[in-house]
Structure 1
Amino acid sequence: MHAWLCENPTGVDALTWKELPTPAPGPGQVLIEIRAASLNFPDLLIVQNKYQIKPPLPFVPGSEYAGVIQAVGEGVTHLKVGQNVACLSGTGGFATHTLAPAALCMPLPEGFGHVDAAAFIMIYATSWHALMDRAQLKAGETVLVLGAAGGVGTAAIQIAKAAGAKVIAAASTDEKCELCRSIGADATINYTTHALPGGFRDAIKAATDGKGPDVIYDPVGGDFAEPAFRSIAWRGRYLVVGFASGPIPSLPLNLTLLKGASLVGVFWGDFAKREPKANAQMMAELAQWYGQGKIKPVIDSTMQMSQLKAAYAHMGSRGVKGKLVMVN
């Protein structure tokens, strides 16, 4: 097998493509021949030693992937050789093969292709857990999605629309705003032309007829957080999803009082570990929605696994719309 090996987490340039022995699965594991692996923001942080999870060295990055089971370990009875699966295990994806915990593998129904499957679990699980579980989104409410043209942003738009909400999508270019409208957003805000903080707040006010959004989905953080929170509706829920812009913002807590609003943390990874039954039920419903055509990952482009460093550079340029997927 071949894999991108991180022996020194100083950044993307330190990754090397190496030939390694193909391992045999141990108890509770499966060996997967990887057909596709998606690039997520944590995949960048982890090779820079900036992610909250720091795997022992050396490791193979690539949190999310899909492929075909080649072998099963002792005790694995619900999966079989030749079966198509997707998996989000945190590492191992940027390779030709990997060992994965069988418990984390999602069997793929007929017609669920590897590229879509590799781009599915993280963004839809995060966005469903945020909107439907943590925010208790109701039909007829208004959702503002920040960073709306990215992976989790596009998933949030689709889930909110499927739930009957009105969606306002905020993104950094007209092209990205057009993408958001094409997948269901009712209105868009280009925050390059509606400058922070005043222009951005004015645009939110105009898009919500002065009421403000009931739910704000924020995977961006940084300078957007305070003006967005100041614009929230009475009893609004502000979903803290991530900090793609870099800085972790500070908010004056009196804003929660004045707005009767909630700051709500979203940590899907821990939810999946702490509440496995609820997570499994959620994933089954998401797979059903995919089959019904209600949701479908937006794929920016596919690139050969050997082009991983170029893919990281593309992601770092902030030009990605939806998900980047590496293929073998």
Structure 2
Amino acid sequence: MQALLSVAPGGPETLELTTMSDPEPKKNELLIRVRAAGVNFPDTLIIQDLYQMKPPRPFAPGGEVSGEVIATGSGVEGFQVGDRVLALTGHGGFSTHLCINASSAIKFPETMPFKDAACFIFTYGTSYHALKDRAALKPGETLLVLGAAGGVGSAAIELGKTMGARVIAAVSSEDKAKFCREIGADETIIYPRKLDRDAQKALSAEIKRLSGGEGVDVIYDAVGGEYAEPALRSMAWNGRYLVVGFPAGIPNIPLNLPLLKGCQIVGVFWGAAVFRDPQGHAENIGELFQMYLNEKIKPRISASYPLDKATEALDLLTKRSVLGKVVVTTDD
């Protein structure tokens, strides 16, 4: 097998493509032939030791995979050789072979390509948990998505429209705005890379204008930093502000704003929610598969790289220049 290994803390340039012995599945494990791995922002953090999870080195990044079961360990029930599965792995996905616990594997529809399957569960799972479970988004409400052209952001646009919301997509460039309109956003806002106080006030005013003056009901913030406060200032009464991620930095929020707005600031920690409520997670995944089969949602894969060029995929995420999703493939 081959794996792209992190051998020292650092950026994508520190990863090394290595040939290793094929692993063997232990009790309750599946050995899968990885066909594709989704690339997500945590992959750029985990190799720098900046993520919550710090696996011992050497390890391969890649927390989201799809592939075929090629062997099963003792005690495995419900899976057999040849099953097509996807899984969240935390790390290890940038490899040709991987052992995973059978409890983390999910069979996916036969009509779903491996690339789609590898780019499905992380973004749609996060965004559906956020909009359904944490925000209780209702038809007719207005949803603002910050960082809307990325993986979770584009998933939030599609899901918001499927759930009957009016969606405003906030992005940093015109090409990203065009992409968001193509996947269903009703309105777009282009914000600057850096915000001073005047720019923050202008952003807040533009959000309010596009929401009809009343403010937005739900904010999906996958950006953080200087964009959080002006977005919060644009919130409607009884609004829900979803804290999803901080690629622009962890913001400082004036706590008088939630009081004045009568709104909630709601954390979205999907990984913990999966662990704490596996039944709810299973229900959500079933609903998401049905949306996919009904052509309501589909991973927007803008770039695909073979395993030996996966560092280029990570570079794209580091530069925040990705539209939708990027995938790494491992086919012979």
TM-score with structure 2 setting the length: 0.96
In 2, Cα distance between the equivalents of 1:29 and 1:257? 49
Residue-by-residue CA offset, 1:95-133 (whole Å, 9 max, x unaligned)? 111111111111011201100010000000100000010
* Structure 1 residue 242 corresponds to structure 2 residue 260: no
TM-score with structure 1 setting the length: 0.97
Structure 1, unaligned stretches of length 5 or more?
none
Residue aligning to 1:321: 323
Amino acid at match of 1:273: F
Residue aligning to 2:57: 57
Amino acid at match of 1:226: E
Q: Is the 8 A contact 1:116 1:296 kept in 2?
A: yes
Residue aligning to 2:220: 217
1:194: how far off? 11
Secondary structure at the aligned position of 2:38 is classed as strand
* Structure 1 residue 5 corresponds to structure 2 residue 8: no
Residue aligning to 1:75: 75
1:93: how far off? 0.5
Q: Is the 8 A contact 1:194 1:203 kept in 2?
A: no
Amino acid at match of 1:199: A
Amino acid at match of 1:168: I
Q: Is the 8 A contact 1:12 1:48 kept in 2?
A: no
Q: Is the 8 A contact 1:47 1:61 kept in 2?
A: yes
In 2, Cα distance between the equivalents of 1:193 and 1:130? 25
The 5 A counterparts of 1:249-328 are: 249-328=251-330
Residue aligning to 1:190: 190
In 1, Cα distance between the equivalents of 2:325 and 2:40? 8
Q: Is the 8 A contact 1:6 1:59 kept in 2?
A: yes
1:290: how far off? 0.6
Structure 2, unaligned stretches of length 5 or more?
none
In 2, Cα distance between the equivalents of 1:82 and 1:178? 40
1:167: how far off? 0.3
Q: Percent identity between the aligned chains? A: 49
Amino acid at match of 1:107: K
In 2, Cα distance between the equivalents of 1:49 and 1:227? 31
The 5 A counterparts of 1:24-43 are: 24-43=24-43
Q: Is the 8 A contact 1:194 1:200 kept in 2?
A: no
How many residues align structurally? 327
In 1, Cα distance between the equivalents of 2:262 and 2:115? 42
In 1, Cα distance between the equivalents of 2:194 and 2:16? 42
1:13: how far off? 2.0
1:300: how far off? 1.1
Amino acid at match of 2:329: V
In 2, Cα distance between the equivalents of 1:60 and 1:28? 22
